[in-house]
Amino acid sequence: MLASVAIAPLNHMLRGESWARKRLQPCAGKTARFRVPPFFDLAVVIQPTGEVAAASTAAGNDAILTIMPALLPRLLVRDEAAYREVRISGDNVFGQEILEIGQNLRWDVEQDLSDVMGDILAHRMVRAGENLVHWHNETLHNLSQALMEYLTEEQPVLAKPTDMRTFADEVSGLQDHVSKLELRVEGLINKSL
């Protein structure tokens, strides 16, 4: 049940991106398992067409991609660093290929919506969605900035970034002085011997 729900949209996106299917075709017959513990565990097999199908339970796994639940929102917004945090076991080259394709695979929402409700309404809906995401991101940024300012200025729980840089510079300078002092002490010891 879960496999068909996940595989149908994936194949829909693959059909819209011929480059992705071409990259998957050499991997035909290989099995990839996607795990999001404890919620999701799906094994797919690459078809000769470059699309995917549910793998049998007896099939071995060529690559296992483990995604921690906290990574999902970052992957959805295509955070580059999140893709590097996906753990791959088994065939690392095959797993990396899947990650790269997933990173660049795009769903043309506007095209799919225009088939259902027309071009103009689909365009307006997609723009409204983009504006909502932009507003959401801007609001989160403003809230985090306000919280940071409160915790550094009003209720000084955190150190200010400028104070931290000054402290790091002073520690680095102290390390330089200690190194020079060690050299002088060694020189004095060598002279006395």
Task: For residue 30, give the 3-state DSSP assignment.
Answer: coil
Q: Given pLDDT bands bounded at 50, 70 and 90, which one contains residue 175? A: very high
Kindly state the average pLDDT of the residues 7-21: 78
pLDDT for the residue 95: 84
Fold classification of 2-104 is Nonspecific Lipid-transfer Protein; Chain A (3.30.1050)
Structure tokens given for 86: 């996906």
In angstroms, the CA 87 to CA 30 distance is: 18
Token pair in block for residue 167: 């402290």
Kindly report the pTM of this predicted structure.
0.54
pLDDT tens-digit readout, 74-107: 777 777 788 888 888 888 888 888 888 888 777 6
Spatial distance between the Cα atoms of 170 and 36, rounded to a whole number of angstroms: 44
Share of the chain above pLDDT 90, in %: 5
- Specify which residues 52 forms β-bridges with: 46
Q: Taking 70 as the threshold, does the pLDDT of residue 3 lie above it?
A: no
Domain boundaries, the chain: 2-104, 108-158, 160-193
